[in-house]
Amino acid sequence: MVGTVPKLQVRGLAISYGGKPALSGVNLEIRENEIFGIIGPANAGKTSFLKSINRMDDFTVGMKVEGSILFEGKDVRDWRNVYALRQRIGVVFPLPVGLPLGIYDNVALAPRLSGIRRRSQLDDIVERCLTRAALWDEVKDRLNSLGSLLSGGQQQRLTIARALSQSPEILMLDEFSIAVDPVTTMRIEDVLRELRQELTIILVTNLVQQARRLADRTAFFLDGSCVEVGDTEDLFMGKVQSSSTTDYITGRFG
């Protein structure tokens, strides 16, 4: 089921903020239809890595990215239109951000921005995305109430629905469970397992066991560099190149 075609190829990636390096020397491949886990302690450069992929550095003051990130063979920085790139790479942030709009409008925002006006088409997208994010049943009777008034867990699923609204090919999640209760976390994990059929998922997580449950392959980031990448099972079975990986996985630090 897991393809072998690289969806993303990262070569010699280095990221710095105002001259201060945050991440360097990252070389890895992310394959189509896999869940690619990234684990590591705080300040390892995980979030910066995600930001560089959808070129949030364009809008982030002082952030500098070097090296290459090939998305289907083409460097993301060669995309003339960064907005088109971001439509194909969805992101979910650590803290749920329900925009102060109705639930319906939250999900319909991106399709509307890209020019979809027909109500029936928007209805379809909204229902499909909310269903896939396992939120539809809870909100279908109050689609006009405010997204920002939902509970934290619901808002996070709303965020996922929103990220799915443009049918991205890659979905990046940055520690999505940080503000979410365990039950919702499990529901979202089920959602991600299903989504894997259709898209590629990059999962940054601070829960080592979550990576184990979900990720096909996992990368371990530490102090601004990528220590190693391997099949998740291998890493957890102790087949590692660096002892710090095992130390982190088994909870000896981090």
Partner 1 sequence: MFGPAEYNIRNERTERLWRILFLVMTILLIIPVLVILATLIVKGGPALSWEFLFDDPKDGMTKGGIFPALVGTIWLVTVALLVSVPLGVAAALYLSEYAPDNLFTRAINLAIINLAGVPSIVHALFGVGAFVIFFGFGTSILSASLTLAIMTLPVVIVATKESLQAVPYAFREACWSMGATRWQTIRRVVLPNAVSGILTGIILEVSRTTGETAPIMFTGAAFFLPFLPEGIFDQTMALSLHLFVVSTQVPNVPEHLPYGVALVLIAMVLIMNSASIALRIYLRSLKKW
Q: In which residue are the tokens 């919702």 written?
A: 184
113 is a site residue for partner 1 (CB under 8 A): yes
How would you list the strands of the sheet with 200-204, edge to edge?
74-75, 63-71, 6-17, 20-31, 225-231, 217-222, 35-39, 200-204, 170-174, 89-92
Q: Is 163 in the site for partner 1 (CB under 8 A)?
A: yes
Choice between 22 and 222, CB closer to partner 1: 22
Tell me how far the alpha carbon of residue 141 is from its chain's centroid: 29
Q: Is 45 in the site for partner 1 (CB under 8 A)?
A: no
Does 61 help bind partner 1 (rule: CB under 8 A)?
yes
For the CB of residue 59, give the shortest distance to partner 1 in the complex, in Å: 6
Count the residues in the chain: 254
Cα 130 to chain centroid, rounded:
17
Q: Interacting stretch for partner 1, rule CB under 8 A, among 84-92, 182-190, 210-218, 224-232?
A: 84-92
205 touching partner 1, by CB under 8 A: no
- What letter would DSSP give residue 121? H
Minimum separation from the CB atom of position 32 to partner 1 (A): 21
- Which tokens hold the place of 154? 């619901």
Per DSSP, the three-state class of 161 is helix
Binding of residue 186 to partner 1 (CB under 8 A): no
**Which span (83-91, 183-191, 207-215, 218-226) binds partner 1, by CB under 8 A?**
83-91
Rounded distance between C-alpha atoms, residue 39 and residue 95, angstroms: 18
- Residues engaged in binding partner 1 (CB under 8 A): 54, 56, 59, 61, 83-87, 90-91, 93, 95, 97-101, 109-110, 113-114, 146, 148-149, 159, 162-163, 165-166
